[in-house]
Structure 1
Amino acid sequence: MATWDPTTYLAYADHRTRPFVELLSAVDLGPGDARRIVDLGCGPGHLTHFLRSRWPDAEILGVDSSPEMMARAEAGNDDPRVRYEVASAQTWRPADTVDLIVSNAMLQWVDDQWAVLDRQLEALAPRGVIAVGVPDNADEPAHRLLYELADREPYRAALSGARRLKRVGPDAYLDYFTDNGLRVDAWSTTYLHVLTGDDPVFEWISGTGARPFLQGLDDQLRPRFAEEYRTMLRAAYPARDFGAVFPFRRTFAVASRG
């Protein structure tokens, strides 16, 4: 099983933070309207303080399947009303009614996100809100080139089972939440991330979408694969005087029962 490296993931924490903040800005719940909050796929816990700032009296539970991420989150937690739990979103469901469920950049990793959302909706309070954000850039060069390379020899056999992400646009969430009787605000945003350093696009994606591919190879093939992929990314995202421009489209949806 592929593992998460919190340090690699946090290398571009500033860029990854903005979508979370913009997702929360669309949540129409006042400071006293959310008593229980769940952050499903909370990662290393570096964004929990944004939830605390908006809802100062809430009990917050962060859930993530990665023990490495949860260890980082626990190490940085000094809030007695924040808890973290290692659990898979594939099977986890809230034990109590929840006023706000947030899931940012997680649902693309599960086999059936609609089944996961079904379970969360069962626990959503009568005036509760669920807010989700997912990458929607599976057709961009960074992913297309990754999948093309993985399908070549000598990598094909080892990487046949590595997860290929799929596009999920805002219309899919609009249909899903509307069919479940919720009021929905759904949209997409393309961020133009300006990345600096050596092979910055590779460094970004090696902590997320390319992670299961790199970890799926043995110590002999991994360096060769990584160098070929770096070369492809340099051509697709050429360095400019100010850095490499990495377009990144994300889908958002905020659904309310209120």
Structure 2
Amino acid sequence: MWDPAKYLDYGDLRARPFYDLVARVDAQAPRRVTDLGCGPGNLTKTLAKRWPGATVEAIDGSPEMVAAARESGVAAEQRDVREWSPSADTDVVVTNAVLHWVPEHRDLLRRWVGELPSGAWFAMQVPGNMGAPSHTLTRQLAESPDWADKIADVVLREDDAVDTPLRYADLFADLGCAVDAWETTYTQRLAGENAVLEWITGTALRPVRAALDDQEWEAFRSRLAPLLDEAYPPRADGTTWFPFRRVFAVARVP
């Protein structure tokens, strides 16, 4: 389950990569714009404002996120992105912080490019921080004797969940696309106690939370919090620096 309210705790920081991604899409008057993994719909609305003449299609696999998007006025549809295929009039596809959850997303990228109309734009952004302490410490704790049996079936993403910008650039170029690929590390300043823990609670820790009851979850958090504070020391003013690497690619279908 996703918690839309928790996800939006750091809404401004989570939105910044989306804006940096969409800024590289040079579509002038697209007929249809699709947001694959629309979340609570707050960013989908900006697509409608940028391209007011387009039909905006919003898809997310989480019923909680879809409900939140609909409450905000976005006509979101609950569907697994793996089941999606573009309509003949789809001129722009945006997928923001979604494909790292889909192990077979490289094959999906190839299929989608082959199905999109000539001249369409495909823009993707994925977190590239699975090797950072926020994730490695979580995996180490989850694999420790105290927790391994309780969350044995939980799959926590490793470094290979996403590729480098060069790998994505090659993938799109091999399909004949014009492509722009890059990475950015955002040095985010998080406020509050256990700031990094609260940040990853809304995303990376979601599978762990789903596997544990309330008491176990609080125990896991209490073990993880000091490990994260050591890796990301809070400043004297109560804020914490949290470097977050993101990987981007924008491709133009030939």
CA contact (8 A) 2:125 2:246 kept: yes
Structure 1 residue 126 corresponds to structure 2 residue 121: no
Question: How far did 1:180 drift?
Answer: 1.0
Partner AA of 2:180 in structure 1: D
Give the SS at the match of 1:156: coil
Question: How far did 1:231 drift?
Answer: 1.2
CA contact (8 A) 1:101 1:131 kept: yes
Q: Which residue of 1 aligns with 2:32?
A: 36
Partner AA of 1:143 in structure 2: H
CA contact (8 A) 1:97 1:123 kept: no
Question: How far did 1:91 drift?
Answer: 2.1
Q: TM-score, normalised by structure 2?
A: 0.94
Return the alpha-carbon distance in structure 1 between the equivalents of residues 195 and 228 of structure 2. 9
Structure 1 residue 136 corresponds to structure 2 residue 128: yes
Return the alpha-carbon distance in structure 2 between the equivalents of residues 130 and 163 of structure 1. 28
Structure 1 residue 89 corresponds to structure 2 residue 81: yes
Return the alpha-carbon distance in structure 1 between the equivalents of residues 233 and 80 of structure 2. 38
Which moved further from structure 2: 16-25 or 218-227?
A: 218-227
Which moved further from structure 2: 47-56 or 135-144?
A: 47-56
Question: How far did 1:23 drift?
Answer: 0.2
Question: How far did 1:74 drift?
Answer: 0.4
Question: How far did 1:119 drift?
Answer: 3.3
| Aligned pair partner of 2:198 in 180, 187, 203 | 203
- Structure 1 residue runs of 5 or longer lacking an equivalent are none
Q: How many residues align?
A: 250
Question: How far did 1:198 drift?
Answer: 1.3
CA contact (8 A) 1:133 1:253 kept: yes
Give the SS at the match of 2:41: coil
Q: Which residue of 1 aligns with 2:14?
A: 16
Partner AA of 2:43 in structure 1: L
| Aligned pair partner of 2:68 in 58, 72, 75 | 72
Question: How far did 1:123 drift?
Answer: 3.1
Q: TM-score, normalised by structure 1?
A: 0.93
Q: List structure 1 segments (4+ residues) > 6 angstroms apart after TM superposition.
A: none
Percent identity for Structure 1 against Structure 2 = 41
Return the alpha-carbon distance in structure 2 between the equivalents of residues 135 and 235 of structure 1. 22
Structure 1 residue 218 corresponds to structure 2 residue 213: yes
| Aligned pair partner of 1:231 in 209, 226, 236 | 226
Deviations 1:36-69 (A, max 9, x none): 0110011000101221222111100110000100
Partner AA of 1:49 in structure 2: K
- Structure 2 residue runs of 5 or longer lacking an equivalent are none
Partner AA of 1:200 in structure 2: A
